Chain A
Amino acid sequence: MTVRIYEGSGEPAGGGSMSRRSFLRTGTAAAGGITALAAALSPLRELTSDDIPSVESFVQKHYKEMTPKDMEAALARIRARVEKRCGVRPEIRDIRPLDGVEFVYALNLSRCIGCRKCVHACVAENNQSRSPEIQYIRVIEMPRGTLDVEQGNHHYDRPKVPDEGHFYLPVQCHQCANPPCVRVCPVEATWQEPDGITVIDYDWCIGCRYCEAACPYWARRFNFTQPRIPAGQINPNMSYLSNRPRGKGVMEKCHYCLHRTRTGRMPACLEVCPTGSRKFGNVLDPESEVSYILRTKRVFVLKEEAGTLPRFFYYFDERYPRGLDPEAIEIERRLRAEEGDAYGALPGADGPAPQRVAAARWDGGSVA
């Protein structure tokens, strides 16, 4: 049996004139509908004036399109907002990159003891939300003999670090020269600056989190709710592209403390490190410490196969520059005596590959 019901002309029954009953019925239905809609929308009453953007901030331009005047106005708005929200008048500027500078980080894994002081110094410096706490640096406790992060422990909790048998791998934004996060952003809210730092315009980000999915280093963080920072914990030294307080629903990440580093200071994570594992500087300056490290240490990057070309290097310290280590010289002398001409031959020729010596050294000899 076919039940046919949905047919109709669209005209109310009875032609044009509406009966009293149908009028009442329509009226009741309409009133009910409006009440239900109002009830559904009622949570919006909890919106504070902070959540509703002013006209000026709504039409604020993208960072790269702002004139100096626009920027002054934007900074004034941010100052007022921070003062209202946190009770502190911030020193906020737009600090531009310096010519002839490309920042690079180098981290000595032989020295890092996994104390996480860098993690907390970063939070204090960069005005991250404290509740829920957002951290840019993740320290992974790694078993010796592997660089496979899936074997690491993110949540180690010991009375004392370092633990014998483990080494510690701190990871933060690698400021890649080929950043996948920048490529995927639909609105160009994130980009690479001339000094190599990938920044975010927090006032432009739409919060789609595509960059967070694209990052191979899990370096990006999202403000799932309005960030909260207790009064008195605000760092008033701010810049537009770095540590000014963020809003709800936008991304943030490590920016190599650009408000410090672009004015000649070191990043907060480096300053606090008790072991001196962290080295930072301008790779275009051949006299800089990082240039020296890149020249003399066996540095490597995480996930080289991802093709991201990180500006964050790791190394295991060898105490002496290559060729000056007495132990290595002794091994080399012995091998030359044993192998003669075969020593140091390229792959394909007979004899042990020389890099085996290095491999046995830097991981403490657990893997040969």
Chain B
Amino acid sequence: MRTYLTFLYRCFRLSFVGDWRYYTWMFVLTAVSLLGLNAYCKQFVHGLVTTGMTDQVSWGLYIANFTFLVGMAAAAVMLVIPAYIYRNRELHHLVIFGELFAVSAIVMAMLFVTVDLGRPERFLHLLRRFNFPASMLTWDIIVLNGYLLLNLHICGYLIYCAYRGRRPGKLFYIPFVFVAMVWAITIHTVTAFLYSGLGSRPFWNSAVVAPRFLASAFSAGPAFLILTLQVLRRFTAYEVADRALMTLRGIVTVALAINMFLLGSEAFTEFYTDAAHGASAKYLFLGLHGRSALVPWIWVSIAMNLVAMTILFMPLSRRLALLNAACVLLIVGIWIEKGMGMIIPAFVPTPLGEIVEYTPTLNESLVSLGIWAFGLLLYTIMVRITVPVLAGRLRENGTAPAEEGVAHA
């Protein structure tokens, strides 16, 4: 116990040590987090009137980000499957960074749901009356918390073992890795069912929502990891093989292609039948009765995804600069597609046929930015601690062989 507390204390100290780039990055993230906290305090005082949401469009930027982030968290499994099932050696020691990212993505997703609540101080009511199994939201609460605990356990155990200089006992983490693998699929499936289970919203009430969520997540998530791993190897001594990045590139490419295919299938069904329930899709892609706030967004998103897919399919994208460009394009493209393109149009028109458009307010955007900054802050700190521990530079008995500070540059 004492050793563990010392470990936590040293981790805490470690997160304050770095060079000027580290401090700048952390300072910016902290500042943006605090801006978000400030905006949230305003929302807490005045209510959700500080957002752009209305009774007509009753979910907005928060739930859009929540959905996107659940996907990002689930995507960690795309490192785990090749590493543990196909025994891909390059990916094996990188799995932990995927799982740490899953932890921060889940924390962000939960924060996004929390800030969306009208009465956050009543969240304990969930423990006193829990509408399980009827409400899909209760399923989501279970799978998200379960996934968070699983990943915290796996990462925490591996890191602590490295710190103690012990070999991790397989029994204590391998079963959890496999459970987490299946669990990752369930978190995004349940989140999709949250929407597709609503008969009142024809735009969501489609069997393809869950597969589409998974496909888009499995392309945006690994794309994010491709970028992160390069940052990692640029700024730390950690080895990341190019081949690992190329494995991820393959996953991103296939998942993106499937995602585009499913999007096309959805669009075909909505438009070819031309039935009345296609109004939301019409609003999204073409505009409805002269209202077309989302039209530019969705076409920009589709264009970004198509460009990214074209780049990825060309052998040229083995060059990292091009690969990175494609990754950035598709992450942004999928973020738009899932937020602006998936959550908001389901509310337009309302079930009574009224068309009210939604634009996020500045306050709402600041809260969202704050949560993103906080999540990245968390991820940076976790990676900051993990790298020296795994590299054996932070051990239980005494300090590391050498103080590797800025001097090493």
Identify the A interface with B (CB < 8 A): 2-13, 33, 36-37, 39-44, 46-47, 51, 53, 58, 62, 132, 138, 140, 148-152, 154, 171, 180, 183-189, 204-210, 212-218, 220-226, 248-251, 303, 306-307
Contacts and interface: CB of A to CB of B under 8 A. Distances in A.
Nearest to A220: B55
A4 B51 CA distance: 43
A215 B138 contact: no
B116 interface: yes
A306 B276 contact: no
A83 B406 CA distance: 65
Given A42-B41, A184-B136, A206-B123, A138 B352 contact: yes
A132, A171, A208, A250: most-surrounded residue (chain B CB, <10 A):
A208
Q: Which 8 A-B pairs have the closest CB atoms?
A: A207-B118, A249-B118, A10-B14, A7-B404, A216-B200, A150-B353, A225-B49, A149-B353
A210 B135 contact: yes
A133 to B, nearest CB: 11
Interface string B45-79: 11111010111101100000000000000000000
A8 B130 contact: no
Contact of B116 (A4, A41, A208): A208
Contact of A186 (B22, B49, B141, B354): B141
Interface in B1-55: 10-11, 13-14, 17-19, 21-22, 30-31, 34-35, 37-38, 41-42, 44-49, 51, 53-55
B47 A225 contact: yes
Given A41-B41, A47-B45, A6 B129 contact: no
B58 A212 contact: yes
A4 B117 contact: no
Contacts of A37: 34, 37
B200 A8 contact: no
A186 B405 contact: no
Given A37-B34, A40-B35, A188-B131, A2 B234 contact: yes
Nearest to A226: B47
B349 A150 contact: yes
Interface string B116-136: 111111110110111100111
A229 B235 CA distance: 59
Nearest to B399: A9
Contacts of A2: 233-234, 237
A178 B232 CA distance: 53
A10 B10 contact: yes
Contacts of B406: 5
Contact of A217 (B55, B56, B351): B351
B22, B44, B346: most-surrounded residue (chain A CB, <10 A):
B44
B327 to A, nearest CB: 21
B344 to A, nearest CB: 12
Contact of B58 (A183, A189, A213): A213
Contacts of A214: 198, 200
Interface string B136-151: 1110010000000000
A183 B134 CA distance: 6
Contact of B117 (A132, A188, A208, A212): A208
A168 to B, nearest CB: 13
Nearest to A221: B55
Contacts of B113: 208
Contacts of A189: 125, 129
Contacts of B352: 138, 140, 149, 152, 154, 171, 217-218
Contact of A4 (B118, B120, B404): B404
Interface of B: 10-11, 13-14, 17-19, 21-22, 30-31, 34-35, 37-38, 41-42, 44-49, 51, 53-56, 58-59, 113, 116-123, 125-126, 128-131, 134-138, 141, 194, 197-201, 233-237, 276, 279, 346-347, 349-354, 384, 387-388, 391, 393-394, 399-400, 403-406, 408-409
Contact of A6 (B38, B141, B235): B235
Contacts of A209: 58-59, 116, 118
B33 to A, nearest CB: 9
Contacts of B126: 186-187, 206
24 contacts: A7-B236, A7-B387, A7-B408, A8-B17, A8-B388, A8-B393, A10-B11, A11-B13, A13-B405, A36-B30, A40-B37, A43-B41, A149-B353, A180-B200, A183-B134, A208-B113, A209-B118, A212-B58, A213-B201, A218-B352, A220-B55, A250-B119, A251-B118, A303-B351
Contacts of A216: 199-200, 351
Contact of B129 (A3, A53, A62, A183): A62
A3, A10, A185, A218: most-surrounded residue (chain B CB, <10 A):
A10
Nearest to B205: A306
Contact of B353 (A33, A140, A187, A225): A140
Nearest to B349: A150
A151 B47 contact: no
Given A138-B352, A149-B352, A210-B135, A186 B42 contact: no
A40, A148, A223, A251: most-surrounded residue (chain B CB, <10 A):
A40
A206 B125 contact: yes
Contact of A184 (B13, B46, B135): B135
Given A4-B409, A180-B198, A186-B137, A250 B129 contact: no
Contacts of B391: 7
Contacts of B22: 5-6
Nearest to A58: B121
A307 B197 CA distance: 13
Nearest to B200: A216
Contacts of A218: 55-56, 350-352, 354
A51 B45 CA distance: 8
Contacts of B233: 2
B118 A36 contact: no
Nearest to B120: A206
A7 B22 CA distance: 11
Contacts of A40: 34-35, 37-38, 41
Given A180-B198, A225-B49, A187 B236 contact: no
Given A8-B17, A36-B30, A37-B34, 17 more contacts: A5-B406, A11-B10, A12-B13, A132-B49, A151-B353, A187-B122, A188-B131, A206-B126, A207-B117, A210-B135, A212-B55, A215-B200, A218-B55, A224-B48, A225-B46, A249-B47, A307-B199
A5 B388 contact: no
B42 A187 contact: no
Contact of A187 (B49, B131, B279): B131
A7 B199 contact: no
Contacts of A41: 37-38, 41
A186 B22 CA distance: 42
A213 B198 contact: yes
A221 B19 CA distance: 52
A150 B237 contact: no
